[in-house]
Structure 1
C-alpha cells in the first residue's frame, strides 16, 4: 500500500486515520472519539474534503477510494487495482462472493453476504465490531475481495478474522496475494496482533493458499460444518503479526 500521508495539522491526521480505520462512519462518532470541538472539527473535515482525502455523504464520512488506499499492479497479462472498498462496491462484492462460494466451500464468506444484505451496508462499526473490505478491480469491475471482521471488545480486540476470494478466471495473477498483504498490513497498522481464518476441510485450495504464505493450522474442530448432509471439519488457520 502507499506510504503514510502527511498533514499540516495533527487533528486532520487523527480524523483521517480514524475514518480510514472505521471504513465509513458517523461524523459525530468520530468527533466525540477524538475529543475535537465541533467548530474545529467542521473546519478540519472541510479541508480534508477539499483536499480530496475524505468524502462526505450526509452525516457519514469515508476515506476517498483514490486517496492513499489504491495500488495499481499488473503484468503483460493483466492489470488490476487494490483499494479500500466504498459503498458503490456493494453489488460487485456480493456478486463476487456468491460466485466464489458456488465454486467451493466458503462457509464464512457465505455468512458475510447474509450480513451485508441484512444490514443493507458494506462497511460498519459499533461498540462491538468493525468490518472493512478491500477490493480488487479490473477495468472497474470487482474480481476479488478481502473482508476483515475485527472485534472492539477489550478481551478480543487484538485479533481479527479474514476472508479472501478471487473469481476463478482471475486467479494466478497475484490478486489474492495482494489482497492478503493489504489486509494484513491494515490489521498491523491498526494494532491487531493476530489474524485468523476458518476453512472447511474440503476447501484444500484455500488452506494451501494460506499455508504457502506463512499461515499455520491453529486448531481443528471436528464435524463443525454440515454441507449437503456431509459433516466437515473446520480448520482454523492463523497468522501472527
Structure 2
C-alpha cells in the first residue's frame, strides 16, 4: 500500500502514452500505438519503461494505470458476505449507479459532483501531476453496494489533506458496510501520511452527520446558506477527521 506519487517521465513519448491511458482509464495497446508516431520497437521500449516504473500494467492487450492502493478484504455478516477492494474501471457503471441511488434519496451534494466528474472523464481512477483519485468499493456478488472515494491533490501545499466521500446503497445499510468502507478510506489516508480527511454535508442530512460523528469526525466549520435544495437555502457543514 502506498500513496500515488507524482509521475515523472524520461521522454515526451512516455508522457504522451501515460496521459492517454490515464485519461481513458484503460486503453487497447494497439490504439495507443496508433496514437503515437513511434515505430513498433520504440513504442515497445517506452511502454516497457512505464511498466517497469510501476505506472502502467498490461493484460491481454489492455493497458491500465497500475496504482497500488491495497488488497481485497472479505467481511461476513449474518445476512451476507461482501468484499472491499480498490475500485477499477470495470466498476464504472456500478459506481455511478450507486452514487446516484444514494444521492437521489438524501442530500449529498459533494457525492453528486463526484458522479458527474466520473461521467465527464469516463474513468474511475485518475493520477496525474495535478490530482489523484482513488476509490474503494464494497461488492456483494460482484455488484457494487457502496464506495469510499479519496480526492488527493498533487499541489504541494494541499498534499497532506484529502477529501473523502462515502456511501452505501439503502438495501445494504445497517450491516457494517459503511463502517468498513469509512475505516478503509481513513486508514489508507493515515498510513500514507495524510494529516486530515474532510467531507462536506448539507445540514439537513442528519443521517450522514450522525454517521461521521459516530466515527470521531468533528465539525470544522459551517457555511451559511451554501446550498439551494428544493428551493431552500441550506447550510453546509464542514466535517473533518484529523490524525
| TM-score after normalising by structure 1 | 0.77
Are 2:123 and 1:97 aligned?
no
Count of matched residue positions in the alignment of Structure 1 and Structure 2: 210
1:5-26 Cα offsets, whole Å, 9 max, x none, are xxxxxxxxxxxx46xx37xxx9
**Structure 1 residues 55 and 188, CA, compared in 2 at 3 Å: closer, same or farther?**
farther
Are 2:83 and 1:62 aligned?
no
The aligned counterpart of 2:117 is 115
**Secondary structure in structure 2 of the residue aligned to 1:94:** helix
Structure 2: segments with no counterpart, 5+ residues: 19-43
2 CA distance for matches of 1:169 and 1:220? Answer: 31
**Secondary structure in structure 2 of the residue aligned to 1:122:** coil
- Asked whether the equivalents of residues 125 and 131 of structure 1 are also in contact (C-alpha less than 8 Å), the reply is yes
Moved more, 184-193 or 217-226: 184-193
Runs ≥4 in structure 1, deviation > 6 angstroms? none
Q: What displacement does 1:120 show?
A: 1.1
Among candidates 192, 208, 215, match of residue 213 of structure 1: 215
2 CA distance for matches of 1:86 and 1:28? Answer: 23
Among candidates 179, 184, 194, match of residue 177 of structure 1: 179
Structure 1: segments with no counterpart, 5+ residues: 5-16, 33-37, 49-53
2 CA distance for matches of 1:45 and 1:150? Answer: 23
- Asked whether the equivalents of residues 55 and 64 of structure 1 are also in contact (C-alpha less than 8 Å), the reply is no
Moved more, 161-170 or 183-192: 183-192
1 CA distance for matches of 2:65 and 2:165? Answer: 25
Are 2:155 and 1:139 aligned?
no
1:159-188 Cα offsets, whole Å, 9 max, x none, are 000000000110011100111111112112
Q: Please report the RMSD computed on the Cα atoms of aligned residues, expressed in angstroms.
A: 3.1
Q: How does 1:1-241 map to 2 (within 5 A)?
A: 17=2, 21=4, 28=14, 42=48, 45=51, 56=59, 58-62=62-66, 69-241=71-243
- Asked whether the equivalents of residues 166 and 182 of structure 2 are also in contact (C-alpha less than 8 Å), the reply is yes
**Secondary structure in structure 2 of the residue aligned to 1:214:** coil
| TM-score after normalising by structure 2 | 0.77
Q: What displacement does 1:91 show?
A: 0.1
